[in-house]
Amino acid sequence: MTQDQYFASSEADETERSRLEILEKASDPRTIRRLEMLGVAEGWKCLEIGAGGGSIARWLAERVGPTGTVVATDINTRFLRELNLPNLEIRQHDIVNDHLEVEAYHLVHARTVLQHVAEPEKALNQMARAVRPGGWLFIEDPDFAPQLTADLTDPSAAPLVALLRTLADIMRKKGVADAYFGRRERSLMEQLRFINVDYEGWSHVNRGGGPHALLALMTFQSVAKPLIAAGVITQEQMDSVERLCRDPSFYWPGNTMFSAWGQKISGFGWDRVLQRV
pTM score, two decimals?
A: 0.87
In this prediction, residue 5 carries a pLDDT of 46
Q: Which of 87, 90, 80, 81 is nearest to 55 (CA)?
A: 80
Q: Which among 19, 25, 78, 75 is positioned nearest to 221, based on CA atoms? A: 19
- The whole-angstrom separation of Cα 100 and Cα 50 is 14
Extents of the domains making up the chain? 13-274
Could you list the pLDDT tens digit for every one of the 277 residues in the chain? 444 444 444 455 777 788 788 888 888 999 999 999 999 999 999 999 999 999 999 999 999 999 999 999 999 999 998 898 999 999 999 999 999 999 999 999 999 999 999 899 999 999 999 999 999 999 999 999 999 999 999 999 999 999 999 999 988 888 888 999 999 999 999 999 899 999 999 998 999 999 889 888 988 888 888 889 989 889 999 999 999 999 999 999 999 999 999 999 875 555 555 554 4
- 13-274 domain in CATH 1.10.260.40? no
User: Which contiguous run of DSSP H or E holds residue 39?
Assistant: none
